[in-house]
Structure 1
Amino acid sequence: MLDPVILFFVLGISAGLLRSELRLPAAVYELVTIVLLLAIGLKGGVELAKQPLGQLLPQMVAVVTMGFFLALIAFPVLRKLGRLQRADAASIAAHYGSVSVGTYAVAVAYLGSRQVPFEEHMPLLLVLMEVPAILVGIILARGVSRSTKWGSVLHEVFLGKGIVLLLGGLLIGWAAGPDGMTPLEPLFVDLFKGILALFLLEMGIITAAQLTGLRRYGLFLVGFGVVMPLFSAVVGTATAYLLGLSLGGTVILATLAASASYIAVPAAMRISVPEANPTLSLAAALGITFPFNVLFGIPIYHAMATLAHG
Structure 2
Amino acid sequence: MDLSLAVQNLVSPPVLFFALGVFAALVRSELAIPQAVAKGMSLYLMLAIGFKGGVAAIGHGLGLDLLLVIIAATALSFAIPLVAFFFLKTTTKLDQINMAAIAAHYGSISIVTFIAATAALELSGIEYPGIMIAAAAAMEAPAIATALFLAHRGRKKQEEQGAPADNSMLWREVALNASVVLLVGAFLIGMATGEKGYKEISPFITAPFKGVLCLFLLDMGLVAGRELRQVRKTLTPALLGFGIYMPPIGAVIGGLTGALIGLDTGGIMLLSVLAASASYIAVPAAMRIALPEAKPSLYLTLSLAITFPFNLTIGIPAYISLAEALS
What's the TM-score once normalised by structure 2's chain length?
A: 0.91
- C-alpha separation between the residues in 2 aligned to 1:258 and 1:77? 15
Change (3 A) 1:55 1:307: closer
Rounded to whole Å, the distance in 1 between the matches of 2:243 and 2:65 is: 35
Distance (whole Å) between structure 2 residues aligned to residue 221 and residue 165 of structure 1: 33
Q: Is the 8 A contact 1:96 1:259 kept in 2?
A: yes
Match of 1:6 in 2: 15
For 1:308 and 1:52, how far apart are their aligned partners in 2? Answer: 24
Match of 2:72, as an amino acid? Answer: A
Query: What's the CA shift string for 1:218-277, capped at 9, x where partnerless?
Result: 311210011100111110111111111111111111111100000000001101110110
Match of 1:208 among 204, 208, 225: 225
Residues 67-216 of structure 1 mapped to structure 2, 5 A cutoff: 67-142=77-152, 147-211=164-228, 212-216=230-234
> Which 10-residue stretch deviates more, 127-136 or 77-86?
77-86
TM-score between the two structures when normalised by the length of structure 1: 0.96
Match of 2:320 in 1: 302
Post-superposition offset of 1:106: 0.7
Native 8 Å contact 1:214 1:221 kept in 2: no
Aligned-pair CA distance for 1:154: 1.1
User: Counterpart amino acid of 1:160?
Assistant: N
Q: Deviations over 1:15-55 (max 9, x none)?
A: 11111111111221111011011111111111232312444
Q: Aligned partner of 1:104: which letter?
A: F
Moved more, 2-11 or 146-155: 146-155
For the Cα contact (< 8 Å) 1:138–1:269, is it kept in 2? no
Aligned CA-pair RMSD: 1.6
Which 5+ residue runs of structure 1 have no aligned equivalent?
none
Superposed CA deviations along residues 97-128 of structure 1, whole A, max 9, x for unmatched, are 11100100110111111111111111110010
Q: Are the counterparts in 2 of residues 9 and 197 from structure 1 also a CA contact under 8 Å?
A: yes
Contact 2:69 2:134 (C-alpha < 8 Å) held by counterparts? no
- Please, which of 278, 284, 287 is the counterpart of residue 305 of structure 2? 287
2-side partners of 1:191 and 1:286: how far apart?
25
1:238 aligned partner: 256
Q: In structure 1, what is the equivalent of residue 237 of structure 2?
A: 219
- Gaps (5+ residues) in structure 2? 1-7
Report the secondary structure of 2:109's partner residue: coil
Q: Distance in 2 between matches of 1:236 and 1:176?
A: 31
The 3-state SS of whatever aligns with 2:206 is: helix
* 1:64 aligned onto 2:71: no
Q: Secondary structure at the match of 1:19?
A: coil
The amino acid of 1:7's aligned partner reads L
Moved more, 171-180 or 46-55: 46-55
Q: Which amino acid aligns with 2:178?
A: K
Report the AA paired with residue 103 of structure 1. Answer: T
Match for 1:265 among 283, 300, 304? 283
1:19 to 13, 22, 28: 28
Partners in 1 of 2:144 and 2:205 — Cα distance? 29
- State, as a whole percentage, how many aligned pairs show the same letter: 42
Amino acid at match of 2:134: L
Q: What residue identity is the alignment partner of 1:12?
A: G
For 2:19, the aligned partner's letter is V
Instruction: Report if aligned partners of 2:57, 2:129 keep a CA contact under 8 Å in 1.
Output: no
3-state secondary structure, aligned to 1:130: coil
Q: Secondary structure at the match of 1:49?
A: helix
SS at structure 1 position matched to 2:80: helix
What is the deviation of 1:205? 0.5
Please report how far the alpha carbon of residue 14 of structure 1 lies from its aligned counterpart in structure 2 after TM superposition. Answer: 1.0
Cα displacement (A) at 1:216: 2.7
Deviates more, 1:298-307 or 1:96-105: 298-307
